[in-house]
Amino acid sequence: MLYTKEDIENHTNNLELWQHEAYEQFSDMMNQRETPYPCVPGIQGFMKNMLRFGFVDDPRTNDSTNQLARLLKDYGEISRDTGNYASLVIFCDTRALLEEQTTIDGYEDLFWNTLNETHKKDPAPWPEDIPKDPEDPSWEFCFNGEAYFAFCATPAHEIRNSRFFPFLLLAFQPRWVFDEINDSTPFGRKIKKVIRKRLVEYDGIPTHPALKWYGQKDNHEWKQYFLKDDESTLPKCPFTSLKNKWKSLRP
């Protein structure tokens, strides 16, 4: 089910221990003042109860992608009513992965497998206004007709603090949120400078070269979904199910 901030904070007895711990860690991260979390819209969304939360099982299981698909479907139907800084935050049951000391590369594989398997459960066709090829600068992950910027943080990150979280965390930010936050608006340019400055201070290293604006000619959204501790990226997008289908249909 989808939770609001108040749902979780007022009904903690309804949560499993790991779920309660995951939310508390997230709340602490959003409320940190000494070195604030870089994503200003994310903090605003949290403070103003615009975020929605969900929990899924061990992400290696089929149940987890069934749960994620249901959460994304339900969220897409109400996201526009939650506020201008909307996002869906998913906490994954990471206990077994922690015991196995899963690496960043392992989490990266798991992240892309999760997106691919969840996509297979999409009840709606791919939106006509979103390119089907991940190499297109305007491509974005879609589910049930909605486009989302997908974000992943893991317990294995040790250097890039903005991508560290004690549990595997997935966040899905609706594409429409960026209508007022982009390079074509004064507000968008201003907030970008603030976020980039805070990102460098938070991580203690330069920003990843893959971080660019949506639609920018040399931009690839998929490269920003999962950032490693270093500046490397995968040679090609692992989201292949649609890409391969699209290529096979070309004349």
Tens digits of per-residue pLDDT, 5-19? Answer: 999 999 878 899 999
Residues 37-58: what's their mean pLDDT?
Answer: 96
| Residue 154 DSSP class | B
Q: What percent of the chain has pLDDT over 70?
A: 92
Please give the pLDDT value at position 125. Answer: 95
Nearest residue to 108 (alpha-carbon basis) of 168, 171, 161, 160: 168
Residues 93-109: what's their mean pLDDT?
Answer: 97
Tens digits of per-residue pLDDT, 20-29? Answer: 999 999 999 9
Predicted confidence (pLDDT) at residue 243 exceeds the cutoff of 80: no
Which range of residues forms the domain containing residue 163? Answer: 5-248
CB 214 within 8 A of CB 205: no
Task: Quickly state the pLDDT bin for 171 (edges 50, 70, 90).
Answer: very high
Looking at the 3D structure of the chain, how many domains does it have? 1
0.85 exceeded by the pTM? yes
Task: Quickly state the pLDDT bin for 179 (edges 50, 70, 90).
Answer: confident
Please give the pLDDT value at position 13. Answer: 80
Rg (CA), the chain: 17
Residues 91-99: what's their mean pLDDT?
Answer: 97
Kindly state the tokens that stand for 137: 């600068």
Predicted confidence (pLDDT) at residue 241 exceeds the cutoff of 60: no
Task: Quickly state the pLDDT bin for 244 (edges 50, 70, 90).
Answer: low
Predicted confidence (pLDDT) at residue 215 exceeds the cutoff of 80: no
